[in-house]
Structure 1
Amino acid sequence: MKDHELMDAAIEERLHQIEGRMRTDKVMVAFVGEFSRGKSELINAIFFAGYKRRIMPASAGRTTMCPTELGYDADVPPCLRLLPIETRLQPKALTEWRAVPEKWTRIDLDVNNPAELAQALEKVAEVRIVSREEARALGFWHDMTPEDNPPVDTCGLVEVPRWRHALVNMAHPLLKQGLVILDTPGLNAIGAEPELTVSLIPQAQAVVFILAADTGVTKSDMAIWREHLVTDSENADARLVVLNKIDTLWDELSTPARVREQIGRQCAATAELLGISAEQVFPVSAQKGLLAKVTDDAALLRESRLPALEAALGVGLLGRRQGLLRSEMSAGIADLRAQAGRVMQIRRRDLAEQALELKGLRGKNAAVINHMRARVHQEQIEFDVSGAKIHAIRSVHLKLLRELFTILGASTLKAELGDLNRALRQRGIKLGAKKAYNQTFQRLREGLGRAQATGIEIQTMFVAIFRQLNAEHGFSLQPPKEPDLLRFERDLELVERSHLQYLGVSNALKLATPDFSDRLVRALATRLRAVYESALSEVELWNKSAAAQLDVQLRERRRNFGHRLEAIERIQQAATGLDERIADIVQQEAALNQLDARLLVLTERLLDVPQSSEPVVFAALKTA
């Protein structure tokens, strides 16, 4: 398309965005639960059984001491990166630390050596022994909640995690497909990272909440569910509940039917307590499922009930994500076809007009030809007058666009967050924090409303000028659909809800700690910046689409004037020029038709993706 000047800037940017999404889009599945519920063992059973051993540390007790993300980046060699816990002492959000690789401890991984790989990943469970003062500074000791503090040894020292966050990069088949696995420590543990619950988990495409079948839903399980995982009904099916360790209910003195009945009762009771449908509860034995895969025991794998959970993750949740990507690509290709089709239609019409003019000159004298040149010049002058009008309208359009960029800009967002930051950073119990939150988000929603109104005003201007140019000059301008900025209110609502959990009575003491509230504010700013950057990106692409479309058709019309004048000059200079020029136009029309056919073939090839009943990610589960 570039070779034939069919690619405008907006379409090119849209295609680059889609290509980038296809290459880098991630599907995050977060595994959440209290300590000793079997999260790491479940990850081993689902994703790493192909290694014929445990890869994630999954012994009794607290094994995952820091949040661990497993993913794949082709630009980074296989490695384990660990962020020291001491980074909590510095005023920087976890997201910002990701951009400072030199601050992470890096360990290269041999992904073809299961024993070495497992040994390296044991580092996520490492701890440090520190004084109570250091533990307090790091957020692991709160004087106001002594019952939640870690045990003190005989020397007066306490145990804290050695690492704040872990990133595992490895070329596992599932991770190469874009899957990201998030293994979390207990969310209610003292010192839990706020960004985990206000940023990472809310943005996960699926959350697997793990309970233990032998204990049922405990008080701490219920607290995690209510404070961090209860979501609106629209995304309720993205929360799966795993009732793990059902092998503890396997009783050799009981019949298989009675065991199944007991497991069924546990599932029903769990669903009722959590307020979800029974179809979202999956009884599983992760340990037996892993053992079955390692020993190739098909009967034991059925008993573990692991395949049902894998199907729910693969076909249900991850498959839906692939469908969204497919729809986005189809829409992008449709835009490409439409824009290229409009440009080629203009060229066809211009060629037809030229051929008609030239055929009308057959047998005419010099005076007629001079008259033709004068008429083309006059049309060019009238067109240039329209160009001046367009320039005037564009100056008004740019003024409105600047207003829109200001509303959604970083400086406006920073100013809106000022009062909230001061409210959360004041010392002691922050009684006015909830009011400050409500006021801040109300102002942000009002700002989005103003931005939407400004966008509609710009769109109205686009429609008017496009209609005028189409009528006066035979253009085929099509105003792009204005961005729906109000849909970002939904994102604001999700951010607000994930933060409001910390403003209740149960978290008042946590919020009273300056370092905790500082981390909360930084996490909030990071998420809001992401929302507003997405909105700005959508506005920029919309504006570029309209402007680029106009630029392309103006350029085509100016080029058409040049071709017509050139043809008249050639006819005046040589008697044979007329027939040669008409033949040349016929060849150009044939070449244009060939180009159109070629473009159709190329775009059809992009859209001709096999429609599988199960997504690629789930298919990889069977072979990993």
Structure 2
Amino acid sequence: MSFNQEFDQHGVWRRQFALRLRLLSEWLTDHDLMEPGIRERLDQLHEQVRNDKIMVAFVAEFSRGKSELINAVFFAGYGRRIMPASAGRTTMCPTELGYDADIPPCLRLLPIETRLQAKSLLDWRNAPEKWERIDLDVNDPEQLAQAIQKVAEVRKVTKAEATALGFWNDELPEDNPMPGPDGMIEVPKWRHALINMAHPLLKQGLVILDTPGLNAIGAEPELTVSLLPQAHAVVFILAADTGVTKSDLGIWRQHLSVLGEGNESRLVVLNKIDTMWDALSSPEQVQLQIASQRTDAADILGLSPRQVLAVSAQKGLLAKVNRDKKLLKASKLMELETALGVDLLGQRRAILRSAVATGIQALRLETSRLVHTRARDLVEQVQELEGLRGKNDGVIKQMRLRIEQEQAEFDASGAKIQAVRSVHLRLLKDLFALLGHTHLKIEVAELTKALKQPGVKLGVRRAYGKTFERLREGLVQTERLAGEIQSMLEGSFKGLNAEYGFSLQAPPQPKLARFYRDLELIEKSHVQYLSLGNALRLAQPEFAERLARALMSRLRVVFETAVNEVELWNKSAAAQLDAQLRERRRNFGRRIEAVSRIQQAAGGLNERIRELQALQAELNLADAKLAELTEHLLSAKEEETAEATAA
């Protein structure tokens, strides 16, 4: 199955899940079960699946056929090239292709001069007015390709300007571009490009990151310390005839091999195998040469041979456009697509479904608890009313007084419940302070100061180590505080359950272990700039400033995600308590109403008991239906495969 087909299948599953979630939501509303905590769970599940993105980053030195490979895999349906892929330099700035339904199809370009200002790329994303925008007609391939050609634009600047922008360093002559006859330096016109278009794959959540060559990557640290580490898969393109060159190895070692703990999400593509198709060599000899290049590349890069694939993007694109099955097979493009589909999407879908399953189980538990609370209250009411059979008006009146007294005592207990909440909120405030933006800035201040000091940064490695040690210690304190809150919740809920007959259960404590891994990954991606080879680049004030901003942007995302998890935990506990308080108050109202009806009519007792028994039967059915609907959400039915194939 090709990458496109696999992604279609993934999209079908997401659409089916959204439909089933909507049906569950409507059913919960119809049965008066849509409590705030349950709605919060539903909204989280919906957002989790709707906004799930899969980013595939394509990385290569210049002239490796990277943009042609993107055209062949994703845009062959247009019958022509969409990404610029002519000879020489093509993509001159990092380019993201994705889809946002709230924005019309367009190309947005961030001027290269923004590097001179003290803002990160993340900050610039929130300033759309600073980007040049070009509307796209996705139904006109010619207009689309012509507009996207702008990502290849360059401009000429003086050496002083090139130095300020990060493209020239007198201390690193081998990394500098070749000046023109007039002494001017050619640099990219744009710093970053965002393409928003309703391509079928992009609509389903795919994000493609097309990166420029080594010189441009090195000059934009935010790309390597923020964007690339967030990619779910990295496709590294080499030329089949040359294998791993020195500059290829430089990109791999400095920017790719440090992205994570393992290389499972890396695919290496030996492109342009058609240059090895030799009329003087037999097909078997050609295949042996290609196999040898694959083995050598895998050994040099420290990968499994199965992660190195040999293709011809140009022939693959041509074959798709002309529907030439024989040429498509020879290009081996489908082998790459299968690897992307099976490895990337298979892993991603498994992770997403696991997370979704956890959310559904929590939703089921919370809703079942509410159903069981109501069922228990109904049983108690029926027993209470059954005890009134044959009793006179005085006994019935006495029961009403007892219920009203219970209600008054329960209302008076609000101060005790409020005290529990006050302690909880005080501890929670301390926890949020540890994860807050102000605390983060304080922890990173020493490192930021070390990065901004002039000249060679002798103590910066130590500053990095101390900073990340403090950040990890902050997470340890956060976990410890979360544990105290969890113990307090469990104790408080146990007391409330015993005193008021509630069925409260403290939600699971948020798991912060993955944020330790995020910190480790961020530190690892930054340490690459602390090597002796990068000392001169790091000595440039502009570069160090960009590195500091990139670090803060990335850390802010990590800590904001942690805050969101803690908030969900807090809301789940609070919503559960609120729901049971509301149910208890409703229960008092129903009991008083029932006694009033019995006092007013002789047949009211039997009628009310029958009503309650009917409600019991409805709740039993609701409990069974809830299990069915949530199980339907959890199931991975094969119907999605059939629908994807039909589509």
* TM-score, normalization by structure 2: 0.92
Q: How does 1:297-312 map to 2 (within 5 A)?
A: 297-312=324-339
What amino acid is aligned across from residue 503 of structure 1 in structure 2?
A: L
In structure 2, which of residues 83, 88, 107 is the aligned counterpart of residue 56 of structure 1? 83
Residue 385 of structure 1 deviates from its aligned partner by 5.9
Please list the CA deviations of residues 467-491 of structure 1 after superposition, one character each: whole Å capped at 9, or x if unmatched: 2233333322221110112321111
Q: Tell which deviates more after alignment, 360-369 or 68-77.
A: 360-369
Supply the distance in 2 between the matched residues of 1:106 and 1:162 (Cα, whole angstroms).
14
What amino acid is aligned across from residue 38 of structure 1 in structure 2?
A: G
Aligned to 1:484: 511
Supply the distance in 2 between the matched residues of 1:69 and 1:46 (Cα, whole angstroms).
16
Supply the distance in 1 between the matched residues of 2:638 and 2:461 (Cα, whole angstroms).
48
Structure 1: 5+ residue runs without aligned partners?
Answer: none
Q: Tell which deviates more after alignment, 180-189 or 574-583.
A: 574-583
Q: Tell which deviates more after alignment, 606-615 or 68-77.
A: 606-615
Q: Does 1:592 align with 2:616?
A: no
1:67–1:165 CA contact under 8 A, matched in 2: yes
Q: Does 1:502 align with 2:529?
A: yes
Q: Tell which deviates more after alignment, 591-600 or 320-329.
A: 591-600
2:229–2:259 CA contact under 8 A, matched in 1: no
Residue 351 of structure 1 deviates from its aligned partner by 1.2
Residue 609 of structure 1 deviates from its aligned partner by 4.7
1:44–1:290 CA contact under 8 A, matched in 2: yes
Aligned to 1:172: 199
1:319–1:615 CA contact under 8 A, matched in 2: no
Supply the distance in 2 between the matched residues of 1:599 and 1:272 (Cα, whole angstroms).
54
Q: How does 1:362-401 map to 2 (within 5 A)?
A: 362-381=389-408, 383-384=410-411, 387-401=414-428
Residue 216 of structure 1 deviates from its aligned partner by 1.2
2:41–2:363 CA contact under 8 A, matched in 1: no
Aligned to 2:154: 127
2:217–2:223 CA contact under 8 A, matched in 1: no
In structure 2, which of residues 126, 130, 138 is the aligned counterpart of residue 111 of structure 1? 138
Q: Tell which deviates more after alignment, 528-537 or 187-196.
A: 187-196
In structure 2, which of residues 207, 232, 249 is the aligned counterpart of residue 205 of structure 1? 232
2:313–2:331 CA contact under 8 A, matched in 1: yes
Supply the distance in 1 between the matched residues of 2:217 and 2:322 (Cα, whole angstroms).
39
3-state SS of the aligned residue for 1:110? coil
Supply the distance in 1 between the matched residues of 2:217 and 2:259 (Cα, whole angstroms).
27
Q: How does 1:199-348 map to 2 (within 5 A)?
A: 199-231=226-258, 235-348=262-375
Q: Does 1:568 align with 2:572?
A: no
In structure 2, which of residues 608, 628, 638 is the aligned counterpart of residue 581 of structure 1? 608
Aligned to 2:38: 11
1:318–1:615 CA contact under 8 A, matched in 2: no
Count of residues in correspondence between the two structures: 620
1:452–1:486 CA contact under 8 A, matched in 2: no
Aligned to 1:31: 58
3-state SS of the aligned residue for 1:236? coil
Residue 207 of structure 1 deviates from its aligned partner by 0.1
Provide the alpha-carbon RMSD of the alignment: 2.2
Q: Tell which deviates more after alignment, 422-431 or 391-400.
A: 391-400
Aligned to 2:552: 525
2:157–2:185 CA contact under 8 A, matched in 1: yes
Structure 2: 5+ residue runs without aligned partners?
Answer: 1-27
1:49–1:293 CA contact under 8 A, matched in 2: yes
Q: Tell which deviates more after alignment, 415-424 or 375-384.
A: 375-384
Supply the distance in 2 between the matched residues of 1:25 and 1:429 (Cα, whole angstroms).
42
Supply the distance in 1 between the matched residues of 2:121 and 2:198 (Cα, whole angstroms).
24
Residue 233 of structure 1 deviates from its aligned partner by 7.5
Supply the distance in 2 between the matched residues of 1:614 and 1:253 (Cα, whole angstroms).
45
What amino acid is aligned across from residue 581 of structure 1 in structure 2?
A: R
2:93–2:216 CA contact under 8 A, matched in 1: no
Q: Does 1:192 align with 2:248?
A: no
2:51–2:205 CA contact under 8 A, matched in 1: yes
What amino acid is aligned across from residue 186 of structure 2 in structure 1?
A: E
In structure 2, which of residues 473, 486, 489 is the aligned counterpart of residue 459 of structure 1? 486
What amino acid is aligned across from residue 147 of structure 2 in structure 1?
A: A
In structure 2, which of residues 520, 539, 546 is the aligned counterpart of residue 493 of structure 1? 520
3-state SS of the aligned residue for 2:455? coil
3-state SS of the aligned residue for 1:475? coil
* Percent of aligned pairs sharing the same letter: 64
3-state SS of the aligned residue for 2:264? helix
Please list the CA deviations of residues 361-417 of structure 1 after superposition, one character each: whole Å capped at 9, or x if unmatched: 111123322332343344445545654333222222111111101111111001111
3-state SS of the aligned residue for 2:219? coil
In structure 2, which of residues 155, 166, 175 is the aligned counterpart of residue 139 of structure 1? 166
How has the CA–CA distance of structure 1 residues 185 and 159 changed in structure 2, closer, same or farther, with 3 Å as cutoff? same
What amino acid is aligned across from residue 295 of structure 1 in structure 2?
A: N
1:246–1:285 CA contact under 8 A, matched in 2: yes
Q: How does 1:440-459 map to 2 (within 5 A)?
A: 440-459=467-486
2:452–2:545 CA contact under 8 A, matched in 1: yes
1:240–1:282 CA contact under 8 A, matched in 2: yes
Supply the distance in 2 between the matched residues of 1:473 and 1:153 (Cα, whole angstroms).
83
1:322–1:615 CA contact under 8 A, matched in 2: no
Please list the CA deviations of residues 40-81 of structure 1 after superposition, one character each: whole Å capped at 9, or x if unmatched: 111111111111221111112111111111111112222111
What amino acid is aligned across from residue 6 of structure 1 in structure 2?
A: L
3-state SS of the aligned residue for 2:86? coil
How has the CA–CA distance of structure 1 residues 611 and 436 changed in structure 2, closer, same or farther, with 3 Å as cutoff? farther
What amino acid is aligned across from residue 337 of structure 2 in structure 1?
A: E
What amino acid is aligned across from residue 297 of structure 1 in structure 2?
A: D
Residue 33 of structure 1 deviates from its aligned partner by 1.1
1:187–1:197 CA contact under 8 A, matched in 2: no
Aligned to 2:110: 83
